[in-house]
Amino acid sequence: MKALVFTAPGQVELLDVPEPDPAPGEVLVQVRAAGICGSELHGARRPGFRKPPLIMGHEFAGISAGGEAVVVNPILSCGHCAECGRGLRHVCRNREIIGVHRAGGFAERVAVPASALRPLPPGLPWETAALIEPAANAVHAWNQALGALGTGGAQGARVAVIGCGAIGLLCAATALSGGAGRVEVADLSPARLAAARRLGAEVAGPGLSGQHDVVIDAVGSAATRAASVTHQCPGGVAVWLGLAEEEAGFDANALIRSEKRVLGSFAYRDEEFAHAMAQIQDWDLTWAAGYPLAAAAEVFTGLMNGGLHPLKALLRP
Ligand SMILES: [Zn+2]
Ligand SMILES: [Zn+2]
């Protein structure tokens, strides 16, 4: 079968690879749509958790061996560590992610544990189904904010989102669906800001203005982390889910003097994945574009090197 293989730092190739051989408890999925994630563009440039050769792809949907339309929850947990015991499967000590630690969805077919399959509602477009995983990240980030402010405190909250890539856009949509009073967004790209406006957000421009109850950082650079603290109201909360850099770069004393808060947000709980599936059908997702698998290497390389700018690219094997 054909698969997009990460073969060396900065290099991906469309190759003929052996058919996946499902282990006991695993199921073969015919991939119909698989989103290319920003973390994969970073990961291919500077290999970390992802080690070549690897078929990446953790945001995908398709048809299971049983003929059912499914989306894959790529978070695999051990089920017996302390975090799994506390119901925090997404931060399991022995966590593995399909497409990161084992072959993922940038292929015609992929074998996944049967426990990772989630049935799709009838008639959901494949492109939409492949956006459920990133949307689940957004649901979790919003729930982190709700946890800090309390459900009442978040109703009518002033929310800001830094970065309008797919995750930032989905965070803005989630906040608007989840009771935010207004959502202001910042990004350097006019096209991304236009997509955010179509989702109902107010556009600040390249940087935020004023202060907000919730600031979501979907970039994760030292500069955006600092901005998430600067533009946070006293007693507010910043939720960080961008991973662009390791440095924090924020004013730690402001945390103390104004009782500001910073929370990390990683992946999602199972119920948040289900919530994302239920609400994604209501949103404008026209900023995502599908490409045939034959163009995968070109599309991935173009995004990695900054020469190609669809807001979100989905491979359609
Ligand atoms: Zn992703
Ligand atoms: Zn565990």
What pLDDT is recorded for position 212?
98
Distance 97 CA to ligand 1 centre (A): 10
What pLDDT is recorded for position 308?
79
Distance 94 CA to ligand 2 centre (A): 5
- Look up tokens 């000590």; give the residue: 93
Strand ranges (DSSP E) for 17-80? 26-35, 59-64, 69-72, 75-76
Distance 124 CA to ligand 2 centre (A): 32
Mean pLDDT of the chain: 96
What pLDDT is recorded for position 190?
95
Average pLDDT over residues 297-313: 92
Asked if residue 310 has pLDDT above 90, the reply is: no
What pLDDT is recorded for position 60?
98
End-to-end CA distance of the chain: 10
Asked if residue 306 has pLDDT above 90, the reply is: no
Give the ligand whose atoms come closest to the C-alpha of residue 243: 1
Give the ligand whose atoms come closest to the C-alpha of residue 82: 2
Give the ligand whose atoms come closest to the C-alpha of residue 97: 1
pLDDT digits (tens, 9 = 90+) for 32-78: 999 999 999 999 998 888 999 999 999 999 999 999 999 999 999 99
pLDDT above 90 as % of the chain: 91
Give the ligand whose atoms come closest to the C-alpha of residue 83: 2
Give the ligand whose atoms come closest to the C-alpha of residue 218: 1
Cβ atoms within 10 Å, residue 194: 14
Give the ligand whose atoms come closest to the C-alpha of residue 98: 1
Distance 58 CA to ligand 2 centre (A): 19
Give the ligand whose atoms come closest to the C-alpha of residue 35: 1
Hey, is 45 helix, strand or coil? Answer: helix
Max intra-chain CA distance, the chain: 59
Nearest to 294 by CA among 125, 108, 129, 111: 108
Distance 24 CA to ligand 2 centre (A): 20
Distance 256 CA to ligand 1 centre (A): 33
Distance 267 CA to ligand 1 centre (A): 9
Judge whether 60 and 33 are in contact, CB under 8 Å: yes
Asked if residue 81 has pLDDT above 90, the reply is: yes
pLDDT above 70 as % of the chain: 100
Distance 253 CA to ligand 1 centre (A): 33
pLDDT digits (tens, 9 = 90+) for 134-172: 999 999 999 999 999 986 777 899 999 999 999 999 999
Distance 95 CA to ligand 2 centre (A): 6
Beta strand 212-217 with 202-205: parallel, antiparallel or unpaired? unpaired
C-alpha distances in angstroms, 258 versus 55, 65, 148, 255, 306? 46, 55, 15, 6, 39
What pLDDT is recorded for position 251?
86
Hey, is 68 helix, strand or coil? Answer: coil
Average pLDDT over residues 87-105: 96
Q: What is the DSSP secondary structure assignment for residue 107, as one 8-state letter?
A: B
Distance 119 CA to ligand 1 centre (A): 20
Judge whether 95 and 87 are in contact, CB under 8 Å: no
Distance 198 CA to ligand 1 centre (A): 22
